[in-house]
Amino acid sequence: MRLFKIFTNELRRLRKDTFLFVALLVMPLVLMGPALLSYSDEGGEEVEATPLMVANYDTGQVSLDYIAELDENLQIEQNFSGELLTQYELQNDPRCATISPECDEAVGRARMADKSRQVLMIIPAGLTTAFDAGDQTPVVLLYDPGADVILTTQVEKISQGLAIKVALTKQLENAKGDFTDLSSIGSPEVKAEVNKITSEPLPANSKTAIHVDEVSPASYKEVEPPGLLGTLVPGYATMFAFIIIMFINSWVHEEKSNGVLRRLLTTPAGRADLIGGKMLFGVFVNFAQLVILFGAGLVMGASRGMEFQLDIPSLLLLSLALSMSATSLGLVFASTKLPPSLGLAPVFIGAILGGCLLSVDFLPPYLRVLSYVTPHYYAVLGYQDALIRGVGLAGVLPEIGMLFVFALVFFGFSVWRFDMLES
């Protein structure tokens, strides 16, 4: 069949084109490897929390509670001394004669200046007093505008939570006082009962009003949280699968401009053979690319003690559906007059919208709507189902179905629009 001859010829072209061969099959692996290794949070290694420098001028309990609360989620750095002072030439600075908030602030500012730290919190003197008096006191958060926005948001939210907690505690203590005062006009029995209630310590579990218990839905299998590695593999693999768009587009463009497509149309090979052969080639290469990427990702994950739901049938079907949708999208681009270099646009725009690089929850609502019309979204969702949620083939079928629908729509469009005579 001519379709298969076209397919084998495309494979021959790929084999002869070292740059394309490397770009399609090796480059994604090369790019994904370091990215995955950099997120080495699997395998029992203790990951250091994000550092937060604190210069505390307050001497009261509120600031200590505040720092203790922050310390649960961040790595608090204060009371600087020793080599760090020498490093920033502060060893002879009068502010650093003893451990002091002034010295902490000086070191903190110096470390921000050389970009080795991104956030410095300055707690003013009298915070506790002001708090007890019910006055608002500003806490300064000095941050690098290029800092990780998640860190600053985290500090902000912990501060808000702590403020509410302390305020409520204070209100409760005031209420207890009022209650005791009111009991003085009651009978001795009432007084004794009130004394008993108000003098009882709070139960140990009353420290937090809400306890977050992490439980997966019943339809999901319980697995160890996969961490960043597990979430990166589906996203990266999906993004790189769409690189085929650029190459299909570039190859077809070359065949149009050098007249090969015209020549082929004068042979008994039909339009269906030509488009079908290219589709088959794209799907084959794309599928191989995904197998390599997932193979490498899974081996890397497994070597770090990561637990995957290795649902092979779901992974294979998903990869096939993804390959078909990516290749047919490539044919859609090849059917337009857009320059081949623009083939990169759907790769990256689709990756951003489809949640390959960052969860779609981070997108503004109007862009999130667009996510649902990208095949990337369903591919990432499907891979997460198969690798992380462990829902089985039946659970992944909706995503597989959506990817096949995309493939069908794109392929239909490209067959309709494909102008082989255009040069």
Partner 1 sequence: MSNTILEANGLVKKFGDFVAVKDVSFTMQEGEVFGLLGPNGAGKSTTISMLTCLYPPTEGEMRVFGHDVVKDAAEVKKLIGVVPQDIALYPTLSARENLRFFGEMYGLKGRDLKERVETVIEYVSMGERAKDAVKTYSGGMKRRINLAAGLIHSPKILFLDEPTVGVDPQSRNHIFESVERLNKEQGMTVLYTTHYMEEAERLCHRIAIIDRGQVIAMDTPKNLVGMLGGGIIQVGMVRVDEEILKAVTGLSEVRTASYLPQVETEAGISSKVVLKVEARQHSNAALVQLIQLFNQKNVQMISLETLEPNLETVFLHLTGKSLRQ
Stretch that binds partner 1, among 188-196, 253-261, 279-287, 359-367 (CB under 8 A): 253-261
Pick 263 or 417: Cβ nearer partner 1: 263
Q: How far is the CB of 20 from partner 1 (least distance, A)?
A: 9
Residue pair 91/85 in contact (Cβ under 8 Å)? The answer is: yes
Q: Looking at residue 72, what DSSP letter applies? A: T
CB of 148 to partner 1, least distance (A): 45
Cα separation, 322 vs 65, in Å, equals: 52
Rounded Cα–Cα distance for residues 393 and 407 (Å): 20
- If the CB atoms of residues 8 and 61 are measured against partner 1, the closer one turns out to be 8
- Please give the span between the terminal C-alpha atoms of the chain, in angstroms, as a whole number: 27
Closest CA to 230 of 362, 353, 387, 386: 387
Read off the DSSP letter of residue 331: H
Q: How far is the CB of 260 from partner 1 (least distance, A)?
A: 5
**Is 33 strand, coil or helix?**
helix
**Which lies closer to partner 1 via its Cβ, residue 10 or residue 58?**
10
Total residues at interface with partner 1 (CB under 8 A):
20
C-beta closer to partner 1: residue 265 or 358: 265
| CA atoms of 71 and 73, how far apart (whole Å) | 5
Which residues 402-421 are close enough to bind partner 1 by CB under 8 A?
A: 421
Region 135-194 residues binding partner 1, contact defined as CB under 8 A: none
Angle between helices 244-257 and 271-303 (to 10 degrees): 150
Q: Which is nearer to partner 1, 277 or 330 (CB)?
A: 277
Angle at 52 between CA 106 and CA 157, to 5 degrees: 125
| C-beta closer to partner 1: residue 157 or 263 | 263
CB of 259 to partner 1, least distance (A): 3
Beta-strand runs (E) in 82-143: 119-123, 140-143
Least separation in angstroms between CB 12 and partner 1: 6
Looking at beta carbons only, is 269 or 296 nearer to partner 1? 269
From residue 250, how far is each of 10, 239, 341 by CA, in Å? Answer: 13, 18, 8
Q: What binding mask, one character per residue, do residues 15-54 give for partner 1 by CB under 8 A, x or -?
A: -xx-------------------------------------
Token pair for 125: 């003197």
Applying CB under 8 A, which part among 6-14, 179-187, 282-290, 298-306 lies near partner 1?
6-14
Q: How far is the CB of 265 from partner 1 (least distance, A)?
A: 6
Amino acid at site 297: G
Residue linked to tokens 């392929």:
411
Residues 257-286 that bind partner 1 (CB under 8 A): 258-260, 262-269
268-293 CB burial, b ≥16 within 10 A, e <16: ebeeebbbbbbbbbbbbbbbebbebb
Structure tokens at 274: 């030509």
Q: Toward partner 1, which CB reaches closer, 228 or 420?
A: 420
The answer to whether residue 11 forms part of the interface with partner 1 (CB under 8 A) is: no
Residue number with CB closer to partner 1 (8 or 174): 8
Query: Of 53 and 248, which has the nearer Cβ to partner 1?
Result: 248
In the bound state with partner 1, the residue whose beta carbon lies nearer, of 15 and 115, is 15
Nearest to 235 by CA among 322, 343, 123, 327: 322
Concatenated DSSP letters of 231-250: HHHHHHHHHHHTTHHHHHHH
Burial class (CB in 10 A: 0-12, 13-18, 19+), 153: exposed
Shortest gap between Cβ of 6 and partner 1 (angstroms)? Answer: 8
- Based on the number of CB atoms within 10 Å of its own CB, is 176 exposed (0-12), middle (13-18) or buried (19 or more)? middle
Residues of this chain that bind partner 1 (CB under 8 A):
2, 5, 9, 12-13, 16-17, 258-260, 262-269, 421, 423
